[in-house]
Amino acid sequence: MIYQLPVIHYSELFVAFYLLSYSFCCVFIYGSNGLGLPETNKAFCSITILVLTLVLVSTDFIGVIQSCSLNNVVFSSHFLALSALVKTVASIASIATLTLYLMSTKQKYTEIDLIIVFSILGTLLIGSSNDFLLFYLALEIQSLAYYALATFLTASIFSAESGLKYFIFGAIASALLLLAVAITYLSFGTGSFQDLQNISANKTTFLAVFACVLFLIILLFKIGAAPFHV
């Protein structure tokens, strides 16, 4: 393992800055004047930002080395850069497909692309996290976006019901996830994934195994993986 000065993840920072700027413009500029960007322009802006993010991720893939930084909170490797490339390409295709579908059906949608980009930011941060704290924050960012996407069809009672159920179960899952993290920290005295890997090789208890199993189950539920999907 090679340690170096803090590794700057420009793709995550770029997406986060875009989301903050977009939200600021929508709330304080367009919202105060009663104006708004056309839906196609919003989708075009999000796709353009993701294309630029794809370029940044590509540069990270070319120049990255396997390393940890920021007190072992952020992790970088070629595999993570490759997974970020796949996530970004899939997100661009998702926004483009969804925009074309909503335009063809003439359905009104508001900030749906912004919500998808929020989920992308959470996904990218999850891949780069090497600590329980950053992992939990990134997972909650992604989950909040999923709650909003579940209630996307506001005119449908089924959509509202599914979003409410997802939010309630998600809140319970977040509490259990924090319980698993607390048990793991109590057992090993650290929240770093790399330190846990080194310590668990020589020290394993039943409580730690229980925490790992609980963490895995809650993680599968939060990301919507079978058989724990809603």
pLDDT in tens, 53-81: 777 776 665 555 555 555 666 776 777 77
Q: Give the CA diameter of the chain.
A: 62
Residues 230/166, Cβ–Cβ less than 8 Å: yes
* Domain-wise residue ranges, the chain: 1-131, 151-230
Residues 80-106: pLDDT tens digits? 777 778 888 888 888 888 878 777 777
Q: State residue 6's pLDDT score.
A: 44
CB atoms within 10 A of CB 172: 12
Residues in the chain: 230
Q: State residue 4's pLDDT score.
A: 43
Short-list 98, 134, 138, CA closest to 116: 98
pTM, two decimal places: 0.77
